[in-house]
Amino acid sequence: MSNQSLWDQHNVTDHIRNILNSLPIDQAYNSGRPFLTTYQIAIALEQQHPQIAAALAQATGGEGHGPYGLTTYIARWLPDRINNRGVTDIEMRFLAPDNLTSIVLDNNGTPMTTTTNQAGYNSTMFRSIAP
């Protein structure tokens, strides 16, 4: 039996890094790559690697999935990798819930409503700061 976490077994940091690196660097304002919310990353990971997403969580996430969504898994473990495990090419920031009533994303044709802003929490956002 492996002592590696599921995250490490499935190279999740590398898959997220690839998702973030696929976004174009802004040329108009010279501000780097755009941020993606945890929800956008979870949707992209599920689209690109459905077998990995299924191994990590019961559902992609959003309203009604509680702590069992891929969104929650990513929001928990990606900051840990950034803050404690040497991931230096991914930046984390927060979107405040102030004056947000809902954020609805397209999850493969199904609307996914974010829940962090509804609960009054900041939404985590990430971007690649690799050249």
21 inside domain: yes
pLDDT digit string, tens, across residues 81-130? 999 999 999 999 999 988 888 889 999 899 988 877 666 788 999 999 98
Distance from C-alpha of 116 to C-alpha of 122, rounded to nearest angstrom: 6
Q: Per the domain annotation, does 36 fall within a domain?
A: yes
CB under 8 Å to 32, separation ≥6 — which residues? 25, 26, 127, 129
Q: Tell me the pLDDT band of 79, cut-offs 50, 70 and 90.
A: very high
Alpha-carbon distance of 16 to 33, in angstroms, equals: 14
Residue 34 located in a structural domain: yes
In a domain, 77, yes or no: yes
As a whole number, the mean pLDDT across the chain is 90
Residue 1 domain-assigned (yes or no): no
Does any domain span residue 26?
yes
Q: Which domain holds residue 67?
A: 6-128
Number of domains in the chain: 1
Q: What is this structure's pTM?
A: 0.91
- The residue count of the chain comes to 131
